[in-house]
Amino acid sequence: MLIKLPKPLHARESEVTDRDTWLSRRRFLGKAARGAGLALAASSGGAGAFLAGCEPAAVTAGDSDGQFSLGDIKANKRYLLPDTTTEKAAATTYNNFYEMGVLKSDPRENAHLLKTKPWSVRVHGLVNKPADYQLEDFIAPQQLEERIYRLRCVEAWSMVIPWVGFPMADLIGRVQPTSKARFVKFTTLLDPSMLPGQRTPVLDWPYTEALELKEALHPLTLLTVGMYGEILPNQNGAPLRLVVPWKYGYKSIKSIVDIEFTERRPLPSWTQAAPNEYPFYSNVNPSVNHPRWSQARERRITNIPRGLDAIGALLEPKIETLMFNGYPEVAELYRGMDMTRLS
C-alpha cells in the first residue's frame, strides 16, 4: 500500500491546508497498525559494525563526479554508538533536500542535476582571514575522519550515519574570527537549473542556517564531505555539508557555498518560515513537542522503508528520543536556558 501525504510533513504551517485531515488519518493508521500487530521494527545488529577493521580506511570516490579524493580517513572511535548503523541504501534514498523536491524520493531522482565541480566556498564576515576557496583547497589542510552520528529529523524519524569530515572548529581556527563574531551563517547554493525545487517558493531560497559561534566551535560540529567512506552523494548535500548531531536535522545544511561570521543573530530559512515551529536553537528535546506533533519518540530507519513516505514514521514502533539526541556533553552550551519550551 502506498500512502501519499497531501503535503510534506515538514512543510511550513501556512502551506499545510489539509492538516486536520492528515492528523486524523495519522491517528487512524497508528491504531490500525497496532491493532494488526504490524512489526516493521528495524532489525538490530552489531554495534558500530560499519567500522570493523577500518582504521585507517583507504577509500575511493563513490558515485560522485570524482572531483577530489577523500584519501586516508581516520576512524574516530570516540563517537562510536551502540546503535545499528543505517544502511547506505536507506540514507541515500530517503532524504530531505527541498531544493531537489519535497518528497523523500525526490532528492535521489534529481540528484544528477547538481554539478559539484567546480565548487567554491566563500568564508567571510568578521574574520581576519577571509577567503574564496576551491573545494579541493578548502579540504586539503584537513585530516578527514569518520564519525558515526545519530541524525534526528524534526519529523520524528532518525538514522545513524557514518560521516566523513573534519571539525568546524578547525576551519574557525584557520580563518580566525574577530572578537566581534558571535554567530556563523551557512548558505546553500542558489541555482534553480541544478536545484529545481528552488523554482517553487516552499522556503525563501537560498536555504540558510546558523549557529552561535560557541556551538560551531563545539567538537561535535562537523563539516562533512563524505558518508559511508565515500564522497557525499548529491542528495545528501554534496560536496560540503554541515552536521550538528544534537540539533534537529534541518540545522545540518547541505551543499554549502558561503560561511559568514556575524555579530548579529542570522535568521535561518526554517526559522523565518515558521518561528514557532523551527526556532533558532532547535536542540533535540523529547520533552518539548513540535506544535503539531510529539517529539518524545522517533522511528529509527535502518533499512529502506518500503512503499512508505514520511507517513511511514507513524506505522512503526518508535524508540525514545534522547535529550540532545544522546549528546549530553553539549548541555554546557545552554546553561541558564529554559529547556522546557521550544527555543
Q: Which residues bind Mo ion (CB under 5 A)?
A: 96, 153-154, 249-250
CB of 244 to Mo ion, least distance (A): 12
CB of 220 to ligand MTE, least distance (A): 16
Q: Give the angle 207-213-216 at the CA atoms, nearest 5°.
A: 70
Q: Which is nearer to Mo ion, 206 or 229 (CB)?
A: 206
Q: How far apart are CA 252 and CA 268, in angstroms?
A: 12
314 binds, among ligand MTE, Mo ion, none (CB under 5 to 8 A by kind): none
Task: Say whether residue 188 binds ligand MTE (CB under 6 A).
Answer: yes
Task: Say whether residue 271 binds ligand MTE (CB under 6 A).
Answer: no
Interface positions, 33-52, toward ligand MTE (CB under 6 A):
none
Helix (H, G, I), strand (E, B) or coil at 145: strand
Q: Which is nearer to Mo ion, 44 or 294 (CB)?
A: 294
Q: Which is nearer to Mo ion, 72 or 204 (CB)?
A: 204
Q: Which amino acid is at 110?
A: N
**What distance separates the 2 farthest-apart alpha carbons in the chain?**
62
145 binds, among Mo ion, ligand MTE, none (CB under 5 to 8 A by kind): none
Residue 52, classified by CB atoms within 10 Å of its CB into exposed (0-12), middle (13-18) or buried (19+), is: exposed
CB of 91 to ligand MTE, least distance (A): 6
Q: Which is nearer to ligand MTE, 177 or 305 (CB)?
A: 305
CB atoms within 10 A of CB 152: 25
Q: Out of 240, 244, 253, 315, name the contact with ligand MTE by CB under 6 A.
A: 253
From the list 124, 101, 137, the residue with the least C-alpha distance to 234 is 101
Q: Which stretch binds ligand MTE (CB under 6 A): 71-79, 97-105, 171-179, 333-341?
A: 97-105
Q: How far apart are CA 161 and CA 113, in angstroms?
A: 24
Q: Out of 254, 299, 300, 318, name the contact with ligand MTE by CB under 6 A.
A: 254
Q: Out of 221, 252, 321, 325, name the contact with ligand MTE by CB under 6 A.
A: 252
Q: How far apart are CA 37 and CA 35, in angstroms?
A: 5
Q: How far apart are CA 280 and CA 282, in angstroms?
A: 6
Task: Say whether residue 259 binds ligand MTE (CB under 6 A).
Answer: no
- Sign of the C-alpha dihedral computed for residues 160, 161, 167 and 168 taken in this order: negative
CB of 129 to ligand MTE, least distance (A): 26
Q: Which is nearer to ligand MTE, 59 or 158 (CB)?
A: 158
CB of 149 to ligand MTE, least distance (A): 11
Query: Any alpha helices (H) in the chain, and if so which ranges?
Result: 19-35, 88-91, 106-110, 135-139, 168-175, 213-216, 269-273
Q: Which amino acid is at 153?
A: C
Q: In sequence order, what DSSP letters do the residues of 201-244 get, joined into one string?
A: TTSSSSPEEEEEHHHHTSTT-EEEEEETTEEPPGGGTTT-EEE-
Q: Out of 153, 225, 231, 315, name the contact with ligand MTE by CB under 6 A.
A: 153
99 binds, among ligand MTE, Mo ion, none (CB under 5 to 8 A by kind): ligand MTE
Task: Say whether residue 207 binds ligand MTE (CB under 6 A).
Answer: yes
CB of 72 to ligand MTE, least distance (A): 24
From the list 24, 95, 97, 134, the residue with the least C-alpha distance to 305 is 95
97 binds, among Mo ion, ligand MTE, none (CB under 5 to 8 A by kind): ligand MTE
Q: Which residues bind ligand MTE (CB under 6 A)?
A: 10, 91, 95-99, 151, 153, 188, 207, 236, 249-250, 252-255
